[in-house]
């Protein structure tokens, strides 16, 4: 028994207090453990009971005609809300309309006093457990509220980080007199380990970068910020030279990482808008694809990963895009985007080469869609794949097509 007292609450009817006192004394005499018999505390039902402070004693409520209807419902709600155990003695009419409330036992007035005493004793014995559970629940709810606030704060911060990251990248397809450039950029979460950049170097050349920091999420996204800053601050003569630009990125990453083992893969190319020549350098990145009526040609590059070797050097490959040809630079997240037919479970994350077929079909000169429409169709195709709701890695694809090729597709 948490407290050595038994609250006996009575109504407002004639002799209600005297009858409640007599009944309480009778119950105490029948108490299951006489040595633990509590003292009686008489209280009127109403404000004296409902506005009490902490109460962990069992309560005996002796009902009469003044306790019924809305007043009884209010009483039950107050007891239930404060986890106070109670036995309520009612007449037959009131019992017929009373619902069940956990921790509150309703009985007829004529119930034997020994039975009432046993129920009150049992309720008192279990109350410490109820109190402990109520306390743990309150603590859990408080923690849940704190976690909800923390999650909301993290959501706002990550949303802001995503907006900032996107500001470093073009917001719409890039068009020149001789080329169209369109991008598909799809992070796994708020921020991405992928990034791309399309920057005018001078009046006749454009610098194009696609990079992929190892992993995804915030750590990878922070590396992309280093890359973006390094590209933006590079002198013009470095931006014109793909090997020199990758060398600068490598040096900046070596300084920024301070001994960590994170690395970045990248393709950087300069596009001459007059001669249609692309000078391409790579750093451990999947080879770009040259797509034409003849099929798909991989443009191999031989540079090492960025951020690993201080003395890394990078070779340059020259590619000319004739009308009807498209260059596509992409990140390795596409390798797990198109699982084989019938794949289930972990097989959905197994790499395949199916993405090459999708690239070839969408960027083919025979495709009547514009380059921008083709990239939108590729995005739609991605969402239709099994497991697309839980994308395994960030994906980015940047396509560069001669504008004559776009016209040829529209006229076909």
DSSP per-residue letters across 326-393: EEEEE-GGGGGTSPPTT--GGGGGS--SHHHHHHHHHTSTT--S-HHHHHHHHHHHHHTSTTGGG-SS
**Nearest CA to 330 among 248, 170, 208?**
208
Give pLDDT tens digits for 120-167. Answer: 898 888 888 887 887 888 888 778 777 777 777 777 777 777 777 777
- DSSP-based helix, strand, coil % in the chain, nearest 5: 40, 25, 35
Q: Are 49 and 74 in contact (CB under 8 A)?
A: no
CB-neighbour burial class of residue 71 (10 A; exposed 0-12, middle 13-18, buried 19+): middle
- In three-state secondary structure terms, 299 is coil
φ/ψ (deg, to 5) at 51: -100, 10
Helices (H), 168-294: 218-233, 236-239, 242-257
Left if phi > 0, otherwise alpha if psi is -120 to 50, otherwise beta: which for 60? beta
- Asked if residue 391 has pLDDT above 70, the reply is no
Give pLDDT tens digits for 339-357. Answer: 666 656 666 667 677 888 8
Cα-Cα end-to-end distance for the chain: 90
Q: What is the pLDDT of residue 245?
A: 96
**Nearest CA to 7 among 168, 100, 123, 94?**
123
Range name among 1-5, 245-249, 322-326, 394-398 with the lowest pLDDT average: 1-5
Of the segments 18-22, 255-259, 315-319, 404-408, which one has the largest average pLDDT value?
A: 315-319
CA–centroid distance for 51 within its chain: 43
Domains plus CATH for the chain?
Answer: 5-137 (3.40.50.2300), 168-411 (3.60.40.10)
- Mean pLDDT taken over the chain: 82
Q: Are 301 and 317 in contact (CB under 8 A)?
A: yes
CB-neighbour burial class of residue 26 (10 A; exposed 0-12, middle 13-18, buried 19+): middle
Q: What is the pTM of this model?
A: 0.63
Q: How many CB atoms lie within 10 A of CB 155?
A: 11
* Banded pLDDT at 321 (limits 50, 70, 90): very high
Q: What is the pLDDT of residue 269?
A: 96
Place of tokens 């596409």: 334
Residues 103, 50, 37: CA angle, nearest 5 degrees? 55
**Nearest CA to 394 among 238, 194, 153, 199?**
194
How do strand 5-10 and strand 39-44 relate by DSSP bridges? parallel
Of the segments 6-20, 204-218, 284-298, which one has the largest average pLDDT value?
A: 284-298
Percentage of the chain modeled with pLDDT above 90: 26
Q: What is the pLDDT of residue 212?
A: 92
Is the model more confident about 305 or about 150?
305
In sequence order, the 6+-apart residues with CB closer than 8 A to the CB of 332 are: 212, 265, 286, 393
């Amino acid at each position: 028994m948490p407290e050595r007292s038994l609250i006996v609450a009575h109504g407002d009817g004639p002799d209600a207090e005297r009858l409640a006192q007599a009944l309480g004394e009778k119950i105490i005499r029948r108490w299951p453990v006489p040595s633990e018999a509590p003292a009686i505390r008489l209280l009127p039902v109403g404000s004296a009971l409902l506005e009490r402070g902490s109460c962990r004693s069992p309560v005996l409520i002796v009902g009469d005609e003044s306790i019924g209807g809305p007043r009884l419902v209010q009483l039950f709600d107050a007891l239930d809300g404060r986890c106070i155990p109670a036995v309520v003695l009612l007449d037959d009419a009131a019992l017929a309309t009373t619902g069940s409330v956990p921790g509150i036992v309703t009985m007829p007035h004529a119930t034997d006093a020994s039975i009432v005493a046993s129920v009150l004793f049992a309720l008192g014995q279990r109350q410490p457990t109820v109190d402990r559970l109520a306390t743990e629940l309150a603590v859990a709810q408080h923690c849940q509220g704190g976690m909800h606030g923390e999650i909301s704060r993290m959501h706002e911060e990550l949303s802001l980080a995503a907006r900032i990251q996107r500001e470093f990248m073009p917001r719409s397809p890039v068009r020149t007199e001789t080329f169209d450039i369109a991008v598909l950029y799809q992070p796994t979460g708020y921020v991405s380990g992928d990034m791309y950049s399309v920057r005018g170097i001078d009046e006749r050349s454009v610098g194009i970068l696609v990079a992929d920091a190892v992993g995804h999420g915030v750590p990878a996204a922070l590396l992309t910020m280093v890359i973006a800053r390094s590209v933006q601050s590079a002198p013009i003569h470095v931006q014109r030279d793909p090997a020199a630009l990758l060398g600068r990125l490598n040096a900046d990453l070596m300084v920024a990482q301070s001994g960590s083992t994170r690395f970045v893969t990248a393709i950087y190319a300069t596009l001459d808008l007059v001669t249609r020549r692309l000078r391409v350098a790579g750093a451990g990145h999947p080879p770009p694809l040259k797509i034409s009526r003849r099929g798909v040609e991989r443009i191999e590059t031989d540079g090492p990963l960025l951020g690993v070797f201080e003395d890394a050097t990078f070779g340059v490959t020259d590619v000319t895009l004739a009308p009807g040809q498209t260059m596509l630079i992409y990140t390795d997240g596409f390798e797990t985007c198109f699982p084989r037919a019938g794949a289930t479970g972990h097989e959905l994350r197994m790499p395949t080469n199916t993405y090459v077929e999708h690239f070839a079909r969408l960027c083919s000169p025979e495709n009547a869609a514009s380059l921008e429409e083709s990239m939108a169709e590729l995005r739609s195709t991605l969402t239709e794949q099994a497991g697309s709701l839980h994308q395994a890695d960030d994906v980015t694809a940047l396509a560069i097509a001669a504008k004559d090729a776009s016209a040829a597709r529209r006229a076909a």
